[in-house]
A and B are shown apart, each in its own frame.
Chain A
Amino acid sequence: MAPVTLRHVKKSYGDAAVIHGVDIDIADGEFVVLVGPSGCGKSTLLRMVAGLETITDGEISIGPRVVNELDPKDRDIAMVFQNYALYPHMTVETNMGFSLEHRGASKAEITERVNWAADILGLVPLLKRYPRQLSGGQRQRVAMGRAIVRNPQVFLFDEPLSNLDAKLRVVMRGEIKSLHQRLGVTTIYVTHDQVEAMTMADKIVVLNAGKVEQIGAPLDLYDRPINQFVAGFIGSPSMNFIGGQITPDGFAAAGITLPLPPGLAPGNAVYGIRPEHFELSPAGVAATVLLVEPMGSETQVTMTLGEHQAIGVFRERVKASPGETIIVRPDPANVHLFDTTTGARIN
């Protein structure tokens, strides 16, 4: 186990810069998730930590060592790939023991470590099978087994659950998290799925177009996103955004006035409100129902507020039909306001 530090890390392919000077501090034993939309550079950044991509500028340290010039094998990391990357011509046992074998470990040590990892991951009955004889979830577990068997200082996961179906993804999410809690190894995990990020991370790094937008604990990012991009990316369904003006009477948008927290300077802004922060209240504003989606524990309603479309999530079972009017009120304590030009948070 070791801390990982990225200092002013940049990556360019020719003239095209894809990572624009990233600084991240990852504490020993921390579970950090790099999250962002496709093409934001999160996988590139992970591959730079792994040593699979060169670094154009900056410094990456694992523990006390700067690893910029080290080969992947010398960085004491283990990586789980999106497509598992299990060697098809080797059994599960050989796959798991492969790295130890090529690092000169004795047969007894390899057997002991493979059995230990297989026991943790429930792979003992599968040790003699080939990857083609395994299900997606089993392959994923073998890939993790291959990573943990060597007891590396850092685990790197590159979208490891994206090939699994929704149900299995939830199961494997739990397994990865409990594995981390058991082993305590520093982990960097890449995903584009913000639910994975929220549920697994000690710390989330939100990336956009090769830059870090915000670093923080999942709920900090959720409750106080630093800008409109983070606010829109974190949370599902996404935060609603309505453009308008801050006035003494509230937030004036086309056709409606929405409540605001006190003490805000007047001016143009973007009003952000999460779907679950609407409430059904006679003191609110009229909304025309477009779609009602009962989820069981809650009801998701797509509606128009004045000229703006928004989504509300209510604990109540909303009985309204499309075209009917409901009265909804955003909770002023949970309103987020962003600069219209820069997108930066202003409240």
Chain B
Amino acid sequence: MKTDLSPTIKTALYGLMCVLLIPFVFPTWWMITSSVKPISDIFAFPPDLWPRRFDFTTYGKVFELQPFAQQYWNSAYIAAIVTVGTMAFSSMAGYAFARIKFPGADFLFTIVLLGLLIPSEVTIVPLFQIFLKWGMINTHWPLILVPIFGAPSVFATFVMRQFFIALPGELEEAARVDGLGRFKIFWIIALPLAKPALGAVAIFTFLHSWNLYLEPIVFISSKNMFTLPQALTQFTDAYGGAMWNIQMAAATMTALPVLLVFIVAQKQFVEGLAHTGLKG
């Protein structure tokens, strides 16, 4: 809908939007500027929106104090595997729930959805015991397996199911007449058409894995195995005090892929959810 607003109302609206933007933008701005301030300037009052002095050595110290590159790689490869794994499992499960008629399908799907209602804090102790038994503590396996078979994958399955339900049945029938079996119909016809939904699943799965905090601090104990959210808490001095500027430098580098993903893929994300009927 296109409406013609007077310049005064337009200006007022933009002003209002700028004010509303402050709570969302300020933390990021504060993180980035604090990462290049000497630690004494961070606590200056009144606070400086623009650094009085720039100190870029904080970024170097991030790599000196911890094996940050290794931790970055850990987060990256775990998030990549979790994203690909979740996309694979959720698309197949979503397709099955949406398109294949089998006894108890709806009941089974309800059971799967119930998994979303259980907070991860409730399952973390039993999971710890299971992974301890399997000898996987202080490995990355729990950080890969729990999201792929846990709540994020359930939500992804729900998103994919909603998409596949809306796929015209005639396309599948045409493919059957053309000589395709069930898996090929899924792989060659349904999956390529599900790109918007898959894109949305990929984005939120990647972000969920990238930001995962509870599971790493439970399952991982050595610094070389840390992921980024866990590593961020470790930039402390000998007395346990936070080294804020170095921590903010690490946080800025940690947030960078997240920002990039959002900037590059926000359209895909919105479209994906719109296609699945989840958008309000």
Contact = CB atoms under 8 A, between A and B. Distances in A.
B176 interface: yes
The 8 closest A-B pairs by CB, nearest first: A85-B174, A99-B178, A73-B179, A85-B170, A81-B170, A102-B179, A72-B177, A89-B192
Interface centre among B174, B184, B193 (most CB of A within 10 A): B174
Interface of A: 50-52, 71-73, 77-79, 81-83, 85-89, 98-99, 102-103, 146
Given A79-B177, A81-B174, A99-B177, 12 more contacts: A51-B177, A73-B180, A77-B177, A83-B170, A85-B173, A86-B174, A87-B174, A88-B193, A89-B192, A98-B178, A102-B179, A103-B179
B187 to A, nearest CB: 12
Contacts of A83: 168, 170
Contacts of B189: 87
Given A89-B192, A89-B193, A73 B177 contact: yes
Given A87-B189, A99-B179, A52 B184 contact: no
Contacts of B176: 51-52, 71-73
Interface in B109-163: none
A102 B179 CA distance: 6
Q: How large is the interface on B (under 10, 10 to 19, 20 to 34, 35 or more residues)?
A: 10 to 19
Chief secondary structure at chain B's binding surface: helix
A272 B177 CA distance: 44
B171 interface: yes
B192 to A, nearest CB: 5
Interface of B: 168, 170-171, 173-180, 184, 189, 192-193
A86 B174 CA distance: 8
A43 to B, nearest CB: 11
Contacts of B170: 81-83, 85
A85 B184 contact: no
Contacts of A72: 173, 176-177
Nearest to B189: A87
A82 B171 CA distance: 11
A88 B184 CA distance: 16
A78 B184 contact: no
A86 B184 CA distance: 16
A81 B173 contact: yes
A102 B180 CA distance: 7
Contacts of A77: 177
Interface centre among A51, A52, A77, A82 (most CB of B within 10 A): A52
Nearest to A143: B174
20 contacts: A50-B173, A51-B176, A51-B177, A52-B176, A52-B177, A72-B176, A72-B177, A73-B176, A73-B177, A73-B178, A73-B179, A73-B180, A81-B170, A81-B173, A81-B174, A85-B173, A87-B171, A88-B193, A102-B178, A146-B174
